[in-house]
Amino acid sequence: MGSRYFSDYELECHGDGCCNGGVDKINPILLQKLDQLREMVGGALELSCAYRCPVHNEEVGGVPNSQHVLGNGADVQTPNYRWCSTPEELAWYCEKVGFDAIGIYDWGCHVDVRDNGESPNYYRW
Ligand SMILES: [Zn+2]
């Protein structure tokens, strides 16, 4: 298992001493779709957050049922490539991959597979 393009370090909880990283709690469907996204964009992507344990989630003020805590969500930074230089352009690629949820922010996109990939592009913000 695991991701072809993203290391455990990139995927695990980034809290300080709160847990063992929890990379094993990440939904394999999320990893598969993040790899697909990486392939479609055709260049390195940076994740600001993927898995987050309940303790660290509380520290950063995340909602208790956050998709990050459930292992379903990731925050992908806009890579600033010529062909993908805005959050909206990144969202276009996310849409092609078919994450269940895509949220556009000024730093990039939140994506998640809350329905295990069965509701592609259904939740949008
Ligand atoms: Zn943690």
Q: Identify the CA nearest to 6 among candidates 40, 53, 47.
A: 47
pLDDT value at position 30?
Answer: 98
Give distance in angstroms: CA of 4 to centre of ligand 1: 23
**What does the alpha-carbon distance between residue 52 and residue 28 come to, in Å, rounded to a whole number?**
15
Task: Tell me the average pLDDT across 1-29.
Answer: 95
Residue type, 48: S
Q: What is the CA radius of gyration of the chain?
A: 13
Residue 85, token pair as written in the block: 């230089």
- Give the model confidence (pLDDT) of 37-93 as tens digits: 999 999 999 999 999 999 999 999 999 899 999 999 999 999 999 999 999 999 999
- Check pLDDT > 70 for residue 1: no
Give distance in angstroms: CA of 93 to centre of ligand 1: 29
- What is the share, in percent, of the chain residues with pLDDT greater than 70? 99
pLDDT value at position 86?
Answer: 98
Query: According to DSSP H, which parts of the chain are helical?
Result: 8-11, 28-41, 54-59, 87-97
Q: At what angle do helices 28-41 and 87-97 cross, to 10 degrees?
A: 120
Give distance in angstroms: CA of 69 to centre of ligand 1: 9
Cβ neighbors of 3 (< 8 A, separation 6 or more) are 11, 31, 34, 35
Residue 20, token pair as written in the block: 């063992």
Domain 8-124 has CATH 3.40.50.720: no
> Do the Cβ atoms of 33 and 21 come closer than 8 Å?
no
- Give the model confidence (pLDDT) of 72-88 as tens digits: 999 999 999 999 999 99
Give distance in angstroms: CA of 13 to centre of ligand 1: 5
Give distance in angstroms: CA of 76 to centre of ligand 1: 19
